[in-house]
Amino acid sequence: MNFFDLHCDTISKCFSKIKKSMLKNKYHIDIERGKSTFDKWFQTFAFWMPDTVNSDKAYDLFLKQYKYMEKFELPIYRGNFDANFKAILMVEGGLLLGKDISRVDELKNKNIKILTLTWNNENAIASGALSTGGLKPFGKQVVCELERKNIVVDVSHLNEESFWDVAQIAKKPFIATHSNAYDVCNHVRNLKADQIREIKSVGGIIGLNFYKLFLEDNCKNGVNALIKHIDYFLKQKCEDILAIGSDFDGADMPDDIKDITFVPTIKQNISRCFGEDIANKIMFENAKRFFDQTFN
């Protein structure tokens, strides 16, 4: 099968655990298991920026993680999918920009394709899901500069006010790389119906998150809970914008989605419930089409 994942934290996880190997490890993802599980595998790897450091330390952490990642010689996506495995790079947390707009250029030069504007708290750009306030004046500059540099704006982790501020000024499609449906599981990190409609209207995509707290209260069966979210999104006529943003290595997974080798079982269940065409769209085709349209 083919798999396109819009979000994992494997780089940051391996780096933080005394620099464990990305090629083979005991975490949710390693390159060996991924390549052996899928015919085509396009994996978005996030450089995660914690809220507990200042912007300069966050930027330094990004550079150190990037240098660590480079030693594994991953086939980095630069605008084409010319191999069966590609690593797409993103940053989760605009904190690393501080108030220095020139750092957007540096992200561009390092082939960063997506920037999640915040993590859970406030930074100089906007306010995250666990904070109050909207997009800040510097944040408006950032959104415009990201669009100018063709780096996709990711609204996962934004609070509602910041989300709608982005929607008001964005000229290009923005996306939610790893968020579920609030009406199915009312977690503050999930998307409400009007937010889903907005992302659809601008031509964005939404990646379904496997984190058990975003799937269902007291989640016992992650696949069944995921099916409920998919059913909801399909009823909102989102079959062409729905993708996967697993959050592997960045969140606690349900017992039945232990790691990347469990993804084929997820696809089998989606196919059983909604048909093979829908399953192919969600697991691969929608995300690939978005990237082809955005970067080619």
pLDDT in tens, 233-263: 999 999 999 999 999 999 999 999 999 999 9
Query: Which domains are present in the chain?
Result: 2-295 (3.20.20.140)
**pLDDT (mean) for 121-144:** 98
Q: What CA–CA distance (Å, rounded) separates 170 from 239?
A: 23
pLDDT at residue 17, as a whole number = 86
pLDDT at residue 18, as a whole number = 79
pLDDT in tens, 203-218: 999 999 999 999 999 9
At residue 111, does pLDDT exceed 90? yes
At residue 296, does pLDDT exceed 90? no
pLDDT at residue 100, as a whole number = 98
Task: Decide which of 225 and 18 is more confident.
Answer: 225
Report residue 178's pLDDT band, with 50, 70 and 90 as the boundaries: very high
pLDDT at residue 74, as a whole number = 98
The candidate with the shortest Cα–Cα distance to 177, out of 186, 169, 187, 189, is 189
Rg (CA), the chain: 17
pLDDT at residue 166, as a whole number = 98
pLDDT at residue 212, as a whole number = 97
Contact call for residues 8 and 44 (beta carbons, < 8 A): yes
**pLDDT (mean) for 87-116:** 98
CA distances to 77, 121, 170, 189 from 95, rounded to whole Å, are 24, 10, 20, 18
pLDDT in tens, 25-37: 999 999 999 999 9
Report residue 122's pLDDT band, with 50, 70 and 90 as the boundaries: very high
Report residue 57's pLDDT band, with 50, 70 and 90 as the boundaries: very high
> Whole-number mean pLDDT of the chain?
98
Amino acid at site 115: L
Q: What CA–CA distance (Å, rounded) separates 36 from 28?
A: 14
Burial 244-258 (b: 16+ CB within 10 A, else e): bbbbbbbbebbebbe
Residue whose pair of structure tokens reads 């930074």 in the numeric block:
123
Q: What CA–CA distance (Å, rounded) separates 226 from 256?
A: 11
- The fraction of the chain above a pLDDT of 70, given in percent, is 100
End-to-end CA separation in angstroms for the chain: 24
Instruction: Indicate the pTM of the whole model.
Output: 0.98
Q: SS in 3 state form for the chain?
A: CEEEEEEECHHHHHHHCCCCCCCCCCCCCCHHHHHHHCCEEEEEEEEECCCCCCHHHHHHHHHHHHHHHHCCCCCECCCCCCCCEEEEEEEECHHHHCCCCCHHHHHHHCCEEEEECCCCCCCCCCCECCCCCCCCHHHHHHHHHHHHCCCEEECCCECHHHHHHHHHHCCCCCEECCCCECCCCCCCCCECHHHHHHHHHCCCCEEECCCHHHHCCCCCCHHHHHHHHHHHHHHCCCCCCEEECCCECCCCCCCCCCCHHHHHHHHHHHHHHHCHHHHHHHHHHHHHHHHHHHHC
**pLDDT (mean) for 269-290:** 98
pLDDT at residue 19, as a whole number = 80
- The fraction of the chain above a pLDDT of 90, given in percent, is 98
At residue 229, does pLDDT exceed 90? yes
